[in-house]
Amino acid sequence: MAKGRLWAALGGLALAWWYLSAHPPKATAAAPGRPLVVLDPGHGGPDPGAVGVTGLLEKEVNLEIAQSAARTLMGRGVGVAMTRTQDSAVRPGPYLVVQDLRERAFLARRVGATILVSIHSNAEPTGTVAGPIVYYRADSPSSQQLAWALTGPLASTVGIYHPPRPAHHLVLMEARVPAVTVEVGFLTQRHDLARLTSSAWRQRLGTAVAQGILAYLGRR
pLDDT tens sequence across 110-131: 999 999 999 999 999 999 999 9
Task: Give the per-residue pLDDT at 7.
Answer: 39
State the maximum Cα–Cα separation within the chain, in Å, rounded to a whole number.
70
pLDDT band, residue 92 (cuts 50/70/90): confident
pLDDT tens sequence across 155-180: 999 999 999 999 999 999 999 999 99
- The topology (CATH level 3) of 27-216 is Aminopeptidase (3.40.630)
Task: Give the per-residue pLDDT at 204.
Answer: 98
Q: How far are the Cα atoms of 34, 45, 67 from residue 218, in angstroms, in the given order?
A: 12, 35, 21
pLDDT tens sequence across 139-156: 999 999 999 999 999 999
Q: Collect contacts of 18-21 with beta carbons under 8 A, ≥24 apart.
A: 18/92, 21/92
Task: Give the per-residue pLDDT at 2.
Answer: 43
Residue 75 has pLDDT above 70, yes or no: yes
pLDDT band, residue 9 (cuts 50/70/90): very low
